[in-house]
Structure 1
Amino acid sequence: MKMSLQNLYSPPVLVGLITKNRTHYGTRPRSPNHPSSVTVQVSSIQVQNDQSGDSPEPIKVLSSGIVNNQRERSTQTSDQLLSQPNTIGIIGGVSAFSTLIFLEKLVWWGSRAGGCPPFVVCSDSTLCMKLPLLSSFPSFKAQMAQIPSSSSRPVVESLKHKRVFLELSGARCIVMPCHILHVWHSEISEGCPLPFLHAGECVAKELLEAKLKPLEVGSDVRIGILASNEALVAGFYQDKLQDQGFEVVLPDKATMEHVVIPAMEALKRGDKKGARNLLKVAVQILLMRAVNTVIIACDEMKGLLPHDDPLLQKCTDPMDALARSTIKWAKSEANMQI
């Protein structure tokens, strides 16, 4: 896949089509329930300015490999990349790897529902350089108040441009599979005419529909949250869960300082085994506080626990909930158009 550095208004785009065959490409270990027959075919579309500053005519790259210049298709009334009524627009996260993991989830859950819907991905690998420094504050609202608007404005504006780009590309629903970027979900979705799914709302709704029972008599159902930035990222999940009547349990200060943060540091220096062991400790500490499940709200923690680890059964990945909700929307939207 060819990629190049894009400017704010000309992000790289992936157009996806799903096929089924007998060959699986990849080296990641799979769980026994993972459909190894599903592969993703994506086409990369380069949309960048020339030296004169003018944008070239849009090029449509179809999954079959056929390239059509819009000049040759001037008789068409629409220049959208995709025109299906259930097309998904995906704003890529801070980590391109996490975005690809979400695409894998979308394919996996889509295959279980009869097929993955068409999608367009808009990703910017330089986004992390625009993010303001996220220091530690006692609460989500307090930390948001401490982030200067001048620091977050470039991020929000960049993501808004990507959202509009996806709308013009034919997306009928927008998703953003990134924990950190959900901090600005309300700002990014402002004025959006399309459904813009929120990972926190999706996971809270699924947990509510699961009709969980309290593990302690006289208490509410408790949900644990693990995130590298406990005050900020865990904060919006906490708000959405509490809106559904759940009691939210976060790691205490000692657990953050002696377990969670060291786990992230171990991962950064390449000590995956050490990070995994510390993550297990953090999950167990929350389970001892009678939580029904632990939400893993951190991209870096994904994949640390092997698929056959019993602790993994006690954990919830919000991006799975987002992928399932995306497929559910796409299927209902497709049915309405029949």
Structure 2
Amino acid sequence: MSNKVMSLSIHNLSVCRSRTSFRTKFSPSMAVQIPFSSVSTEENRNLTEFKRVSSTVLMRCKVPDPWINQENTVGVLGGLSASSTLTFLEKFVWRSSRNAKESIPFIVCSDSTIKSEVSMYSALVNSKDAQIELLQLHRGIIAENLRCKRTFLEQSGARCIVMPCHVSHIWHREVSKGCSVMFLDVGDCVARELKEANLKPLEAGRKVLIGVLARDAALVANFYQEKLQSQGFEVVLPDKPTMEHMILPAIEALNKKDIEGARNLLRVAIQVLLVKAVNIIILAADELQGLLPCSDPLLKKCVDPMDSLARSTIQWAQSTKDGT
């Protein structure tokens, strides 16, 4: 495998330190379960409250003048987890400060209401399919909330916006619509880097295979699948038994502080994809990042999309600063 490919799988020092020690995990088991018969009444009540909160957010997002007026200012639009936003900033700051004479200016907008909204819809029904259906049904409301935060960053002086959240990227197309500045897409970033790595198929007569592991295969994994296929890759997603007996139990074990159990389940899930001649596996879930120790050889076969997003953001900022 080329040096370029190896660079994709190397986790930086800051990631290897103790990322799992401060990561906040979203736990579906903590959501209030509501009988399906009461969904309509409860949903209407929640939507009324959400509209009240959203109107407050819209008022807050208006900024009279830019706070930062530098041409390479980055706007970071936080998603469901504040700790995931901090993890991305750690990558971004650490990588950008290694050889740069000046730090890259950035603005962060992190609002917990987006997590509350997603949690609200997830709590309305028990089944995963019904949760996904509700999220899709109300995607306009969630996208509008994110779009308001995007506008806030634009008005604050951001010249490029990034959204370091796997789930939020489900609404990237809606959120980026009408944006007056560059709005990077994490799926495009990781797909482009893999394309530039010139990977070779492990089996004759087939395309390069890229695996994707995510907690929501129907939403997040499909988002990455679309981006990868546009670059000519064939995407391999975990089958139902792998999701039910490995990925989801690994996340549950992690939530219960059973780190070793979670690691072993993740290792098995990775091996299941590797035996299918997959070249590289995208770990598209915050819970799976930093779970394996840095010395684990399986990490050489895995990439974190947020690493790609951080590199692309730095490349944009530096080229903009240099006028190239």
Q: TM-score range by the shorter chain?
A: 0.7 to 0.9
> In structure 1, what residue type is equivalent to 2:199?
L
**8 A Cα contact 1:179 1:298, kept in partner:** yes
Report the CA distance between 1:150 and its aligned residue: 5.6
**8 A Cα contact 1:136 1:231, kept in partner:** no
For residue 177 of structure 1, give the secondary structure of its aligned residue in structure 2: coil
> In structure 1, what residue type is equivalent to 2:96?
G
Partner Cα separation in structure 1 for residue 116 and residue 322 of structure 2: 41
Q: In structure 2, which of residues 90, 105, 108 is the aligned counterpart of residue 104 of structure 1?
A: 90
* Structure 2 residue aligned with 1:90: 76
Q: Which protein is richer in strand relative to its size?
A: 1
Report the CA distance between 1:27 and its aligned residue: 11
Larger CA Rg, structure 1 vs 2:
1
Higher mean displacement: 274-283 or 123-132: 123-132
Distance 1:322 1:218, change over 3 A: same
Partner Cα separation in structure 2 for residue 27 and residue 94 of structure 1: 20
Aligned pair 1:330/2:317, yes or no?
yes
TM-score (norm 2): 0.76
Partner Cα separation in structure 2 for residue 216 and residue 321 of structure 1: 26
Partner Cα separation in structure 2 for residue 143 and residue 149 of structure 1: 9
Q: Which protein is richer in helix relative to its size?
A: 2
For residue 210 of structure 2, give the secondary structure of its aligned residue in structure 1: strand
**8 A Cα contact 1:202 1:325, kept in partner:** yes
For residue 330 of structure 1, give the secondary structure of its aligned residue in structure 2: helix
Distance 1:201 1:113, change over 3 A: farther
* Structure 2 residue aligned with 1:163: 150
Point out which structure has higher relative CO (alpha carbons under 8 A, 6+ apart).
2
Q: How big is the alpha-carbon RMSD for the aligned residues of Structure 1 and Structure 2?
A: 2.5
For residue 257 of structure 1, give the secondary structure of its aligned residue in structure 2: helix
**8 A Cα contact 2:85 2:164, kept in partner:** yes
Higher mean displacement: 217-226 or 103-112: 103-112
CA displacement 1:98-148 (0-9 Å, x = unmatched): 1000001101221245254110000012321101339645xxxx997x346
The sequence identity of aligned pairs, in percent, is: 56
TM-score (norm 1): 0.73
Distance 1:95 1:143, change over 3 A: closer
* Structure 1 residue aligned with 2:17: 29
Runs of 5+ unmatched residues, structure 1: 1-25, 32-53, 59-77
* Structure 1 residue aligned with 2:268: 281
Q: What number of residue pairs does the alignment pair up? A: 265
4+ long deviations beyond 3 Å: 134-137, 146-150
Partner Cα separation in structure 2 for residue 116 and residue 267 of structure 1: 35
Partner Cα separation in structure 1 for residue 181 and residue 15 of structure 2: 36
* Structure 2 residue aligned with 1:224: 211
Higher mean displacement: 253-262 or 123-132: 123-132
For residue 231 of structure 1, give the secondary structure of its aligned residue in structure 2: helix
Trace 1:66-77 onto structure 2 (pairs within 5 A): none
Report the CA distance between 1:193 and its aligned residue: 1.1
Runs of 5+ unmatched residues, structure 2: 1-13, 20-58
